[in-house]
Each structure stands twice: as C-alpha cells, then as structure tokens.
Chains A and B, each alone.
Chain A
Amino acid sequence: MSSHRRDLAFAALTLALFIAVTIAFPGFAAPRNLAGLLDDTAILILLALGQMLVILVRGIDLSIAANLALCGMIAAVLDRTWPGMGVGPVLALTLASGALLGAFNGLLVWKLRLPPIVVTLGTMSIYRGAIYLLSKGAWVNENEMSRGFLAFPRSEFLGLTLLSWLALAVAAVFVFGLRRSRLARDLYAAGGNPDAANYSGIDAGRMQFIAYTICGALAGLCGYLWVARFAVAYTDIALGFELSVIAACLIGGVAIAGGVGSAVGVVLGCLFIGIIRSSLPLVGISAFWQMFINGVVILVAVLLSARQREVKRTILEVRT
C-alpha cells in the first residue's frame, strides 16, 4: 500500500471514529468543541511531526518529553527572572535550547553511531534531572508568570487559539516541505537505505543529526507552549508524553524501519488520539485509561505494519 492510499484509508477511519462519537454525543461536533479539540491536540501534533523526522531516519527520540519539560522550565525561570522580556526572546531561547538538547542526541547517534534507544533513554533521565537542578525541585506557578507569557498561546484569532494556528502552520510547512524540499528528500533517502545514501554523497548520520535537532527545536518550542498553556512548570510535566507522541506517529503510518511516513498521516494520527482522549470522559472512562489506550494503539499499529512488510512471494507466474 502506498503511503498516499494509507493516508486516505486512515483519514476515513478517523472520520468514522469522529462520526461515531458525534452520533453518540451530538455536542461533540460543535465548533467550540472542535476548536478545543484542536487546541488540546496542537502540542501533540508539533511533537509528533518532530518525532516523525527522527523515525524516518531510523532513530527514535524517547527524550522528547523530557526535552519539552526542561525547555518549559527554562522558559518559566526566564520569565520569572525578567518578566518584561516579552514572548519573542522566550520563543527564540526555547527553540534554541530545545535544538541544542536534540542536537546532543543527534551528535551521539551520528558521530559515535550509538543506538538511538540507548542514547535517548539516557538523555531522557539526564534532562529530567536537569529540571530538578534548575528549579531546585520547586514549582513555577501561574502567579509567577507574566501576563504576556501566559497570553501568547491562548490568544484567539478567527476562533482558534494561536497555539492551534501554530500547529496548523507547522503542519502545513511539513506537508509541503517533506514533498518538495531537497533536505526532506535527503532524509527519506537516508532513512530508506543509509548505505546507498552514503554512496550518493548523502551522509546518513548527518541526516540523523539534523532530524534530532529539528525534533529537539520543536520539543523546546512546545516546552514554552505547554508551560504557558497549563500555567505551571515543575519537574514532572509531560511525564510519559513521549509514548503518546510515538503512538501518534506509528498509527499515522510512520514506519519504524525508516524512510516511510507522511506529515498528513502523522497529523491524522494525532487527531485520532485526540478524539479518543476527548471522548473518554464522555463515555465515562477515567483519564487513567489514556496510557493503556496508547499502548493498544502502538501495538496495533506496529502489528499492522509488520504484516505489510511480509515479503512478497512472486516467483510463480500469475495464471491468467
């Protein structure tokens, strides 16, 4: 199945889920509720797009949520120390610090050829620990954050929050860029066949480095967005969120073997998970089930893609 057809099929499935929930709870499709759904899913979309690049080049980033939390704390501490500095510098600094943390992962994977799972499992706990060192274990609360800092992701434009617009904009850049930019085509090539990529003058390791750096930058940006949106920063924010991100990528059709995946699929994957998450309270299931459902989603996705990978047997001529 080509990735285009898979996206269509998965879009139909997501739509069916949406319709089913709407039939049971007509209020679900209200514009207000949909805007809320998008707002709730925006950060997941941003992170999953970053994670997708990493998986495309045969990596995985388990440290993505810890990166988010650390950059969120950096943003919160900055804002507390210099409340008047405005949103611009905060955005720039979180992007930069996130990119740096991602680049550290990428550097280890590229230059030392270390297995991504081991590297990011390690940095995941290093980054978490660093939050504690930075905050000395304390929380940064709403009353310590400046108004501009808090308002940015929540301000509305044409009925959607700025956070939602940001996610849509980044998604659009990904949809267009993955198809048309040379960098993205190099990423696909390096993920599809690293040896052949090296023969074509593409340094597959450098591509991994770039993917981790972009992924880190997005995670850093989301750190600020998360902290401002929920108006609190502490060591354990977004704990385990990397699993939701990975689930969204895998159900969205990103192949763990590398080289295959589309931005449209990933966004659909995020919406799929978002719809499930927001309909849980409607059907009376506690939020504690969310993680379990993520697990089911991951396993179903990887089992399905393993089925697809089965070797084609095509020696016998087809009888007509």
Chain B
Amino acid sequence: MKPANLLRWESMLAVVLVFEFILFSALSPYFLSVDTLSDATFNFTERAIVALPLAMLIIAGEIDISVAAIIALASVAMGLASANGLDTAGIATVGLGTGFLAGCINGALVTIGRVPSIVATIGTMTLFRGAAYAVLGDRVLKDYPETFAVFGQGYLLGPISIELALFAVFAISFGVFLHRTRWGRTIFAIGANPVASRFAGVAVNRYRFALFALTGLFSGLAAVLLTSRLGSTRPSIAQGWELEIISMVILGGVSVWGGKGSIPGVVLAAVVFGLVTFGLGLMNIPGIVMSIFTGTLLILVVAVPALVNRSRENRR
C-alpha cells in the first residue's frame, strides 16, 4: 500500500504506453487513425472487463483461474438459449446468469468447502470447460439473432464501441469502489491478513464469496460481448484467456501475494497489453507466438521486483 511505489509503477506503465504509440505509429502509417485505434480497443476490452473484478479478488488474496472456462460455459449456455428461441435480452441474461452461478460455485467451494482457491478453480476450470466440451463436442453454435450482435459489434458514439464504453464505466466504478470506500479498504485488509481481518469483525468469507461471484458475473458479461462479436460458440472459445487476464492484473501492479494493487494500474496494463497484441497482429505474428510474449511478460513482471529485492538484500 505504499502510494509512492504504486505511483512509480503506474507511471512506468504510462511510459511504456507512450513508447508503444510511438513504435506502432512508426511501424504502420495507419496506426494513428481513429478507426485503427478504435479497432485496437477490441483487443483488450473483453479481457479487461474480467481483469477488473479479478484484480480485486487477487488483492483479497485469492485467485480464479477458471475465468476463461466460465466464458466458454456461458457462451455455450447462450448458444443453447438461442437455439431454443430466446430473444437477445434473454440470451444475454442467460450468459450473465451462467457466469454468476459459476462464480458462486467457486465462492462456495472456497468459503463453505474451505478449498484453497488455486485448486478449487483448477477444478472448476476443468469442470466448466469440460462441461462445454461435453455439451457441444465438436459442434459449433452460431444461430444468434441479428440484434444480438449489438453488444460486441455496436458503437455507442462515433468510434467509441459499446464494449469500450462499458469498460470505461466499470473501470471508474471499480476504481472508486476499491480506493474510496470502506468496502475497498476492507478488501485490502483481507488480502494482507485474513485472520486479523476476521478478528477485526470483518465477515471475510462473505467478501470472498461476493468477489468470486462478481468475477463470475463479469466473466459472463465478457462471454456476452465475445460471443456477440464472434457470432459463434465453440467449446474452445477464449482458450488460454485466463493467462492473459491474470497477466493484465499482475502487470497492473497487483501483488500476487494479495493486499496490494490499484485499478488505475490494471486499466493502464490492459491498454498496454491490448496495444501490444494489436501491434503484433499488425506484424502478422501468430497467436501462439504471442502466448510466448504473454508468458514471458507475466514471469518478468513478478520476477523483476523479486530480483531487485534480492539484490537489495544482498547488498546489506
């Protein structure tokens, strides 16, 4: 919770962001156009919408690696809902509801079942993704009503997509909630020391459950946006996204040990991340190679501070 350090981390991210802008506009003459930039936002909005609640969950000392599997499950549920003739609103509700329920299952496993969140969500990741495969096999669902496309393909105002607008609204609300309210303070306290928080009268498990449910709900929202944008559902949808979403959160300066982090950091990290993905795409680099980049980034972001600490300790 050292504000000075966080500030430094965030300004570092901002510098990286500026550097990216310069690099990509040098590489591609079309980069600095409103249309291109607007397109680029689709590279992070869906993931970043999940990163926001996940950041709070990680700050509270837990983790959820089932987020991508929840997206797949929710997408399959929406596909089935659509096949059964539900309208756009109904389909979206099914997606959100599935995500919320999946999040509640995670929350119940951790709070009532007392299973550590890493294994609990490895389990549910397998379960949810497995359920998507079990239901769909190698089929593809793509009979979505035309109006359903609005979530992932619609624009609110000029170049500002509905996805981007939603992300902006949620980023601000989450930032205010986490950093300005007593519930946010409590989340930091739980992450730093859950036992002492409990002895300070905090209903720790209620917070944990709510955060898991929230992360599930927002994974459901991401599923609505992604499915709407792609117009189709496969059981392998959002494969590997847990890595990218967690990377965004960690890159944003959230401590993997809990108790530290900020929403502005996560937002900056999401944009940095999205632009890199977009830039690599511009250079025709395939997705699997990008995963090398993501993996390296994730490890570097946690390793570099640890290295710095180590050398500082050695100097003493």
Contacts and interface: CB of A to CB of B under 8 A. Distances in A.
A8 interface: no
A281 to B, nearest CB: 14
A3 interface: no
Contacts of A115: 256-257, 302
A78 B242 CA distance: 33
A294 B123 CA distance: 8
Interface string B268-300: 000000000000000000101111111110110
A137 B235 CA distance: 22
Nearest to A116: B118
A290 interface: yes
Interface size class of B (residues with CB under 8 A): 35 or more
B65 A302 contact: no
Interface in A252-309: 256-257, 286, 288-296, 298-299, 302-303, 306, 309
Contacts of B286: 132, 137
A191 to B, nearest CB: 15
A121 to B, nearest CB: 6
A118 B257 contact: no
Nearest to B136: A288
A240 B132 CA distance: 14
B15 interface: no
B115 interface: yes
Interface size class of A (residues with CB under 8 A): 35 or more
A60 interface: yes
Interface in A90-145: 108, 111-115, 117-119, 121-126, 128-130, 132-133, 137
A289 B292 contact: no
B118 A119 contact: no
A299 B299 contact: no
A123 B295 contact: yes
A247 interface: yes
A303 B307 CA distance: 37
B159 interface: no
A208 interface: no
A250 interface: yes
A57 to B, nearest CB: 15
Contact of A114 (B120, B240, B247, B302): B302
B247 to A, nearest CB: 8
Nearest to A303: B113
A133 B289 contact: yes
A51 interface: no
A306 B115 CA distance: 6
Given A246-B122, A298-B123, A112 B303 contact: yes
Q: Which 7 A-B pairs have the closest CB atoms?
A: A295-B127, A292-B130, A129-B292, A291-B130, A295-B126, A125-B295, A298-B123
Interface of B: 63, 65, 109, 113-116, 118-120, 122-131, 133-134, 136-138, 235, 240, 242-243, 246-247, 250, 256-257, 286, 288-296, 298-299, 302-303, 306-307, 310
5 contacts: A115-B256, A117-B118, A243-B126, A302-B120, A306-B114
Given A112-B310, A291-B126, 8 more contacts: A60-B118, A126-B292, A128-B291, A293-B130, A299-B123, A302-B109, A302-B119, A306-B113
